Amino acid sequence: MAKMGGNRTLKRYSAPPWWPVLRKESAWVVKPSPGPHSSSTSLPLLLVLRDLMGVTRNLHETRTILNESKIMVNGKVVRRPDFPIGVMDIVSMPDMGAHYRVLPYNGSFAAHRIQDSELFRLLRVENKTIVKGLKLQLNLSGGVNMLLDLKDPQDAKNNVYSTLDSLKTDLRGKQILDHLKLDLGSYVLVIRGKNSGSHGVLQEIVPAFKRRRSLVRIKASDGGIIETILDYVYVVGREKPIITFQGVE
């Protein structure tokens, strides 16, 4: 009989090294289901609730609160423990009035509690395309797509969005609230690589054959210089970040 799709199970020793799980505690771990994030850049909701937030102690407790519709992800009720959670996703517990933004931290992820004033999403522009009807399609991180009216595709004033810019949107990713361009002097967060979780002011971009592989230098909040590639950089503010995270007041 032919194999249908990929494996639905994942052993702990095969899990990504940055996952917050003990390799020899048990044999299996929940594998992220297909969704808005790839399995290589996300955590299953179970690990976020159990290991990052400490809300539950095991899969049984996690299933219980999910089935009671007590957990929301980006403003939408989620009932699957294997739902993939990635950078900048917001996990909420409405009954407790608690909201957490998932951010890179020390090579892994951290769930950072936020106030109601931070209940917005920052989505990175991954790609853009002009489609039928003179509309601009923006493919954003987190599996979000937007269609914007474009009066004249040849007029640069009508096409202000560039790849790797960030958009401040509402929780559902339906409405643009602000546009943060990727420019020198922008405040950025490193989301992958050995410097994951570091943040600071973008000082230099050294062009490469492929733009996303360009070398960038960032002046970190502690005064040091961080080197990484452009693809690992996420704009989180202009001169200062518009979100709070570990190490930033």
Sheet of strand 199-206: strand arrangement:
225-229, 215-220, 199-206, 187-190, 233-237
Q: Confirm if 173 and 158 have CB atoms less than 8 A apart.
A: no
Distance (Å, whole) CA 232 – CA 122: 15
- Higher-confidence residue of 71 and 7: namely 71
Out of 41-55, 75-89, 143-157, least confident range: 143-157
* Residues whose CB is less than 8 angstroms from the CB of residue 23 and which lie 6 or more positions away in sequence, other chains included: 12, 13, 15
* Residue 4, pLDDT score: 60
Sign of CA dihedral 218, 222, 223, 225: negative
Please write the tens of the pLDDT for every residue from 197-229: 999 999 999 998 999 999 999 998 788 999 999
The full length of the chain comes to 249
Residue 89: what are its φ and ψ, rounded to 5°? -70, 150
Q: What is the pLDDT of residues 231-241, one digit of tens each?
A: 999 999 998 99
For 121-179, which CATH class?
A: mainly beta
User: Can you give the pLDDT at residue 155?
Assistant: 57
pLDDT one-digit tens code per residue, 82-118: 999 999 999 999 999 999 999 998 888 999 999 999 9
The per-residue b/e assignment along 82-103, b for 16 or more CB within 10 angstroms, e otherwise, is: bbbbbbbbbbbbeeeeebbbbb
Structure tokens at 97: 């009035």
Tell me the whole-structure pTM to 2 decimals. Answer: 0.89
- pLDDT in the model for residue 134: 79
Q: How confident is the model at residue 249 (pLDDT cuts 50, 70, 90)?
A: very low
Residue 180's CB is within 10 A of a number of other CB atoms, namely 21
Beta-bridge partner residues of 219: 201, 225
Segments making up each domain of the chain, as ranges: 10-117, 121-179, 187-237
On average, the pLDDT of the chain sits at 88
Provide the CATH number for the domain formed by 10-117 in this structure. 3.10.290.10
The secondary structure element, H or E, covering residue 60 is helix 59-67
Rounded to whole angstroms, the maximal C-alpha distance in the chain is: 60
In degrees, rounded to 5, the angle at the alpha carbon of residue 27 between the alpha carbons of residues 21 and 31 is: 65
Mean pLDDT confidence for 29-49:
90
What are the φ and ψ backbone dihedral angles of 238, each rounded to 5 degrees? -90, -100
